[in-house]
Amino acid sequence: MALLDDRLLWIGGQYVAASDDSFFDTLNPATGEVICRVARAGAEDVDKAVAAAELGQREWAAMSGAERGRVLLRTAQLLRQHCDEIARLESLDGGKPIAETPEADVGSAADCLEFFAGQAASLQGEYQPVPGGFFYTRPEPLGICAGIGAWNYPVQIAAWKSAPALAAGNAMIFKPAELTPLSALRLAELFKDAGLPDGVFNVVQGFAETGQALTAHPRIAKVSLTGEVGTGKAVMRAAADTLKGVTLELGGKSPLIVFDDANLDNAVGAALLGNFYTQGQICTNSTRVFVQESIREKFIEKLVARAGKMKVGDPLDPDTDVGPLISAEHLQNVLAYIDKGKAEGGKLLLGGGRAEVPGCEGGNFVQPTIFDGLRDDMTIVREEIFGPVLSLLSFREEGEVLERANNTEFGLAGGVFTRDIQRAHRVADRLDAGIVWINHYNLTPVEMPFGGFKQSGIGKENSRRAFEHYTRLKTVYVAAGDVDSPY
């Protein structure tokens, strides 16, 4: 028997059944049990959501920025009030440790809504005198935006996409990943409780074809996707038919470079955070850890000792550090990468297989895994694994490590640990990555632009920069004199 009641689609401020009344199951990754059935949206449902969003968006865009900001702020307050409940839901649906979800998921979503609540009244254009008159510009909402989410940070992604979109006066139709559809619906309920007009935020659960229906829809102006590189390319190609704008937050294989003058404990802490938080299912993770040769042994000793103490367990247990991977299929992918690492000659320093968790026999658990003895051309060093697998590499000098760090099709993030301030900034300058952390890793405050280079994506989320991707700039010329026409 399912744990929760069926979940329907959220369209026009209420729950509605899918047109063909179809459902899919969402599972608990810690046990393999069905949590509940979830309505599956088809193209007809996407049409309904678009019609509802058009009505809602007109009302919403006519409100002042300050009024819109108040609604977003109230939503953030409600999220914080219901933090425990939503964090639990997120841990149940996504397998994320309950030690993480209150802050990293619910808190991060609330931070984002608060930030854009404060920005909603501050969208400004410019004014400039020009020959014969002047012009001004108006940042206008795009209309209806689609958000398509990945499964690793479900409620955070829903907020990172909807908060700037709504603050700028757009409506959003959000499709959560089919593996984690529950928390976006809870967010939709809280938006309504906070006073959001019906139709401004809609949730259509489903699979790739639901995303395709959104991407192809002629009355949707923009699509923002978080997902894999291949999905990003498919979305961009499909968006070309209606010339939609796209924001793409895609995968990575990011480097963390540790120089011999670094604070070793901090660097080890960052390498652990950047590989094992959320079971390693984080796009920006520092999966290639480059350590300068002279400190290699010390670094390894500290790293393996601390990683070995991490507790793999039931995500609802507050002592758990590492929960299950999202699905049985993803577990097989990650195990296949581990096997490839071994077959290609990698040396295991820790882990390297499935983990058993008493009471969670059907769960998708993997041991935190550390490989040494690797070369840059090995599969596990080149490809995104999206699991708790750290690749250790060593280097001699700065120029060499920069060249190797940048030798990838990805360009999402990177980190450098050193006490040499000039070297820190030089490395930050030369890393070909959208986000660089100096002496830390994976912190993403909402004030900071977030997004990748190269095949890791297009556009930025968070910060005021996000508005550039959710507004269109209209230029208005105003004549100061008569029309001097030769005709």
Tell me the window of 2-10, 209-217, 366-374, 466-474 that interacts with ligand NDP (CB under 6 A): 209-217
How would you classify the pairing of strands 389-395 and 369-372?
parallel
Q: Rounded distance, CA 393 to CA 398, Å? A: 14
> Can residue 386 be called a binding residue for ligand NDP (CB under 6 A)?
yes
Q: Rounded distance, CA 117 to CA 79, Å? A: 14
> Can residue 207 be called a binding residue for ligand NDP (CB under 6 A)?
yes
Which of 28, 31, 91, 226 contacts ligand NDP by CB under 6 A?
226
> 40: which DSSP letter?
-
> Can residue 90 be called a binding residue for ligand NDP (CB under 6 A)?
no
Choose between 262 and 390: whose C-beta lies nearer to ligand NDP. 390
Whether 249 is a known active-site residue: answer: yes
Choose between 148 and 185: whose C-beta lies nearer to ligand NDP. 148
> Can residue 387 be called a binding residue for ligand NDP (CB under 6 A)?
no
Sorted by sequence, the CB contacts under 8 Å of residue 391 that are 6+ apart come out as 287, 288, 289, 341, 346, 371, 374, 380, 381
Tell me the window of 111-119, 206-214, 365-373, 464-472 that interacts with ligand NDP (CB under 6 A): 206-214
DSSP 361-384: TT---B--EEEES--TTSHHHHS-
Which of 31, 119, 231, 418 contacts ligand NDP by CB under 6 A?
231
Closest-CB residue for ligand NDP?
A: 211
C-beta of 187: minimal distance to ligand NDP in Å? 15
The tokens describing 107, both together, are 């808190």
Q: Yes or no: say if 191 and 177 are a contact pair by the CB < 8 Å rule.
A: no
> Can residue 215 be called a binding residue for ligand NDP (CB under 6 A)?
yes
∠ CA 86-78-323, rounded to 5°: 20
Q: Rounded distance, CA 213 to CA 227, Å? A: 17
C-beta of 151: minimal distance to ligand NDP in Å? 5
Q: Which residues are registered as beta bridge partners of 473?
A: 139
> Can residue 149 be called a binding residue for ligand NDP (CB under 6 A)?
yes
Q: Yes or no: say if 380 and 346 are a contact pair by the CB < 8 Å rule.
A: yes
Q: Yes or no: say if 248 and 459 are a contact pair by the CB < 8 Å rule.
A: yes
Per CB under 6 A, contacts with ligand NDP among 409-438 are 412
> 415: which DSSP letter?
E
Neighbours of 228 (CB within 10 A): 15
Per CB under 6 A, contacts with ligand NDP among 9-38 are none
Choose between 91 and 394: whose C-beta lies nearer to ligand NDP. 91
C-beta of 293: minimal distance to ligand NDP in Å? 30
C-beta of 486: minimal distance to ligand NDP in Å? 53
Q: Which residues are registered as beta bridge partners of 444?
A: none
Residue 482 DSSP SS3: coil
> Can residue 150 be called a binding residue for ligand NDP (CB under 6 A)?
yes
Choose between 73 and 89: whose C-beta lies nearer to ligand NDP. 89
Site string for ligand NDP, 242-271 (x = CB under 6 A): -------xxxx-------------------
Catalytic residue among 90, 100, 178, 249: 249
Q: Is 86 exposed, middle or buried (0-12, 13-18, 19+ CB in 10 A)?
A: buried
- Of the chain, the end-to-end C-alpha distance in Å amounts to 80
C-beta of 392: minimal distance to ligand NDP in Å? 21
Active-site residues: which are they?
A: 249
Residues that bind ligand NDP (CB under 6 A): 148-152, 175, 177-178, 207-208, 211-212, 215, 225-228, 231, 234-235, 249-252, 283, 384, 386, 412, 452, 457
